[in-house]
Chain A
Amino acid sequence: MDILMILAESARSAVGPVAAIYALAAVGLNLHFGYTGLLNFGQVGFMLVGAYGVGISVAVFQLPVAVGFLVGLGCALVLALLLGIPTLRLRADYLAITTIATAEVLRLVYRAGFAEPLTNGVYGLQNLSSGFRQVNPFDAGERYGVGAFMFTGNQMWLMTVTWGLVGLAALVTWMLIHSPWGRVIKGIREDEDAVRSLGKNVFAYKMQALVLGGLLGALAGAMLAVHQGAIQPDQFKPQVTFYLWVILLLGGAGRVFGPIIGSMAFWFLMNFTDGFLKGLGREGLLPFLDGPDYGAIQLAFIGLLLVLLIVFRPQGLIGDRKEMLINVK
């Protein structure tokens, strides 16, 4: 087992396309939870509608990718409104239950038999990335980077766009949070009633935050569709949302760079544990486990990480402990 190889591979994945996509979705979640205090456990639902916005537009209706992105964002907007109107007036944990139920239900709808003309059911949609790759300024055949950080031209193009979007989203978040609007939503997180007593329409502010974060989630989903070139409904399981939560809490909720650092750290850890377990397995040191168990162990590890983070370091890597002392009544 070559520890250095595993470390290098993990470091590569920490800046790779997947880390960028998850960072983008986590920035949206940060807007929900970190700043507004909304317990959105259905972020994967936004990613799903974003991905399928691109997928259905490109694969079924042969529209350009740009239109697909717009469709995905539109779907996310509608989803946020549908979700928010009944639940945002209620206590935070109701929102959590409703969002996780909705996201799971969306996945099942997209894979259900009657939706097959559009979504192709469990088979998913293919050939989604050609439009995006046509405008690739990098040479697809060429490899770029130094040392362990080697990426193909297509990956470079995707990473440039996605990390660019992440940067843009972070900038927008920073500007929003340092605006009067941002002060209001942080106020909502701390004490909703106090904000209400100042004459602010709490519901409207929460809804705006939900829509904004949801749009970022949809954007991440759309990038995922373009990155993979093929999507299946079953890759949008609730686990993705849990990953995003770990990313957010690992990096630090309520910080502009929290989700970005969190995503890099998370994917580093994920790939490291995976490589490490596989390495141990190849050496014959894990006689009780088969290959399929490693994934389960990894997910159990994610769960444990979530528990330990919340108990011992709720502010994450770069967070401010005071910002995380949210208590919902």
Chain B
Amino acid sequence: MRTRLVTVLLALITAFLVIPGAAATADEQGGESLQGQIGQPDDRDQGVEGIEITVFQGEDEIEAVTTDSDGMWEVELPGPGTYRVVVDQESIPSEYEIRETVLLVDGEAEAEVGANEQRPLIVALDEAGAAAEEPAESDAPEEGDGAAQEGEEDTSAEDPTVEVEGLSGGFGDRFVQLAAAGLLFGLVIAVSAIGLSLIFGTTQVINFSHGDMVTFGAMMALLFSSGAAGMGNSLLAIFAGLGVAILLGAAFEGRLGRTLLIVLQWTSVFGGIALATVMGVLGDDIGWRVPLWAAAGIAVVMGAVLGGTMERYLWRPLRKRNVALIQMFIVSIGLALVLRHVLLVLFGGNRTRYAGYQVQELVHIGPVSMPPRDLVIIGVALVVLVLVACLLQFTRIGKAMRAVSDNRDLAESSGIDVDRVTLYVWLLGGGLASLGGVLFGLNQVVDYEMGFRLLLLMFAAVILGGLGTAYGAMVGGLAVGLVAMLSTLWFPAQLMNAWALALMILMLLVRPQGLLGSRERVG
């Protein structure tokens, strides 16, 4: 008993260390460069546009740049060395002024850049006049206590995963409001995490690339709702080809001759690729756009095809080769890296939002007020969850999924076509992940790392509910969302995800199989 107490205590300490928060936006690049982001003093996530920055080496000017709408700037350098960076004081909006630091004097800074280093250079702004009141304030780390004022400023820079609108009033009001936000967040996590849990149940693979499937969905919906043209059509063609191939395989396996089937499948895949090339060449000639709900539909179908393709052309062959589970896990990490960075190349590293749903009048339902888009998210998520539950509970394929998830060997010996069920699970999981991505993107922002941020919370949700059980993922997702949001009542918002992960660690200690899991699952 004592050891367990010690363990719980230590887990709690770990939990205090756990603080997911703002994610960095810096892109990965090769070569030497100087870069940075200039943000507003009260909210560093809001960039300041149009500040001119010039980089010199010795007396030679390398390049002059201006910050973009996110306040980002970057200068590619010819090689390692010492550079002088000059910020044009005139170009700074009059309400701000440069914060003087040890490194940055009179808008000039020296930066030593090593080989292949992407050196960030911090230029911070203050409200005009603020520095005059506190002249001794500096960023120098020596003054251990001097930074208290900066700490204050940082708490206002809110975590991008948390945006609760209309938050005000007394404790009761805030409680209800946050509970509603937590419900929304939890539903989004639940929708995304069902696939993760079912995939684990049926194949024992912890799919690390699930987060990037979420990103994929959000990005696709963004693409088709903001105007598809060349790239959209090409992607659509490729996925159509893959989808037809998978469906052919699922429908006619065993009925048609093996060779014929393979020929048909590859014809469809290559047909898709050929069509994609044609579409790509045609480029913007065939431009079209659909409203967000239709784009979301396309994204869900494409997500399902993505999941199905991964299962059919990667995981199934690996299973047939008896690749060990650890190796599969590492493969899924590799896959996540590929997917994320391909998306980054295709869509860039900007943070975008779905157009047309940003500024909305709040709807008041009793004590809760939300924008209509959040109500729609909750509605869609609830309907989808109920539908998935019905599918799992009442249909043949749903029962088969649960059976395979429960015990693969037993299911196989009782005549279930396990491979086909696994394929359907991947299709379902991929589609739901995409939908989760659209909902998450609608509620927050779309960027290439959004799925990775959600992934750890999805892991927390499925572990909490019990790995491998679909209903566990739903319960766990709701619990994680509620805990994360409600914790902001008492603790700083930066800590909100920490509580969700702490819940996960506690669960691992007390009941490793999760709320709804069966005991044998954990070795």
Known: A116-B150, A228-B114, A307-B331. A105 touches B20 (CB 8 A): yes
A242 to chain B, nearest CB (A): 6
Q: Are B206 and A112 in contact (CB under 8 A)?
A: no
Partner of A277, one of B14, B30, B122, B330: B30
Q: Are A120 and B330 in contact (CB under 8 A)?
A: no
Q: Are A125 and B141 in contact (CB under 8 A)?
A: yes
A131 to chain B, nearest CB (A): 16
Across the interface, name the chain A residue whose C-beta is closest to B329. Answer: A93
Q: Are A325 and B337 in contact (CB under 8 A)?
A: no
List B contacts of A83 (CB < 8 A).
Answer: 14
Q: Are A234 and B509 in contact (CB under 8 A)?
A: no
Does A175 interact with chain B (Cβ within 8 Å)? no
Partner of B10, one of A82, A91, A117: A82
Does B91 interact with chain A (Cβ within 8 Å)? no
Q: Are B19 and A97 in contact (CB under 8 A)?
A: no
Q: Are A60 and B31 in contact (CB under 8 A)?
A: no
Complex interface bits, A279-293 against B, C-beta within 8 A gives 1, otherwise 0:
000000000010111
Q: Are B345 and A307 in contact (CB under 8 A)?
A: no
Partner of A304, one of B7, B30, B338, B501: B338
Which residues from 487 to 510 on chain B have a C-beta closer than 8 Å to any C-beta of chain A?
492, 494, 498, 501, 505, 508-509
Does B512 interact with chain A (Cβ within 8 Å)? yes
Does B142 interact with chain A (Cβ within 8 Å)? yes
Docked pose: A310 CA to B117 CA in angstroms: 30
Which residues from 427 to 461 on chain B have a C-beta closer than 8 Å to any C-beta of chain A?
452, 456, 459
List B contacts of A143 (CB < 8 A).
Answer: none
Q: Are B148 and A117 in contact (CB under 8 A)?
A: yes
Task: Give the contact stretch, choosing among B317-325, B386-394, B418-426.
Answer: B317-325
Known: A101-B456, A108-B20, A294-B30. A299 touches B337 (CB 8 A): yes
Q: Are A303 and B341 in contact (CB under 8 A)?
A: yes
List A contacts of B349 (CB < 8 A).
Answer: 292
Q: Are B341 and A300 in contact (CB under 8 A)?
A: yes
- Residue among A108, A123, A232, A299 with most chain B CB within 10 A: A108
Partner of B17, one of A96, A106, A296, A326: A106
How many A residues, CB 8 Å from partner? 81
Docked pose: A41 CA to B334 CA in angstroms: 13
Q: Determine chain A's interface SS by DSSP, over half rule.
A: helix
Does B410 interact with chain A (Cβ within 8 Å)? no
Complex interface bits, B299-336 against A, C-beta within 8 A gives 1, otherwise 0:
00000000000000000001000011111011101111
Task: Give the contact stretch, choosing among B152-160, B245-253, B289-297, B374-382.
Answer: B152-160
List B contacts of A136 (CB < 8 A).
Answer: none
List B contacts of A229 (CB < 8 A).
Answer: 112
Partner of A113, one of B120, B157, B206, B337: B157
List A contacts of B18 (CB < 8 A).
Answer: 101-102, 105, 109
Partner of A94, one of B141, B142, B508: B508
Known: A97-B459, A117-B148, A277-B30. A105 touches B501 (CB 8 A): yes
Q: Are B498 and A113 in contact (CB under 8 A)?
A: no
B183 to chain A, nearest CB (A): 24
Complex interface bits, B1-19 against A, C-beta within 8 A gives 1, otherwise 0:
0000011001101100111
Q: Are A104 and B20 in contact (CB under 8 A)?
A: yes
List B contacts of A294 (CB < 8 A).
Answer: 29-31
Does B260 interact with chain A (Cβ within 8 Å)? no
Q: Are B122 and A123 in contact (CB under 8 A)?
A: yes
Docked pose: A16 CA to B325 CA in angstroms: 35
Q: Which 5 residue pairs are nearest across A and B when measured between Cβ atoms?
A: A113-B154, A303-B337, A306-B334, A295-B28, A300-B341
Q: Which residues of A contact B (CB under 8 A)?
A: 13, 18, 37, 39, 41, 59-60, 62, 81-83, 85-87, 90-94, 96-98, 100-102, 104-106, 108-109, 112-114, 116-118, 120-123, 125-126, 228-229, 232, 234, 237-239, 242, 245, 249, 271, 274, 277-278, 289, 291-300, 302-307, 310-311, 314, 325-329
Q: Which residues of B contact A (CB under 8 A)?
A: 6-7, 10-11, 13-14, 17-22, 24, 26-31, 74, 76, 103, 112, 114-117, 120, 122, 139, 141-142, 144-148, 150-155, 157, 206, 318, 323-327, 329-331, 333-342, 344-345, 349, 452, 456, 459, 463, 492, 494, 498, 501, 505, 508-509, 512, 522-523
Task: Report 16 cross-chain contacts, Cβ distance below 8 Å, ordered by A residue.
Answer: A18-B116, A59-B141, A90-B508, A97-B463, A108-B22, A112-B21, A113-B150, A114-B154, A116-B147, A228-B114, A237-B24, A245-B330, A297-B341, A302-B334, A303-B338, A306-B334
Excluding A91-B523, A114-B151, A274-B31, 9 further A-B contacts by CB distance (< 8 Å) are A60-B144, A93-B206, A93-B326, A114-B154, A114-B494, A116-B151, A306-B331, A310-B331, A327-B324
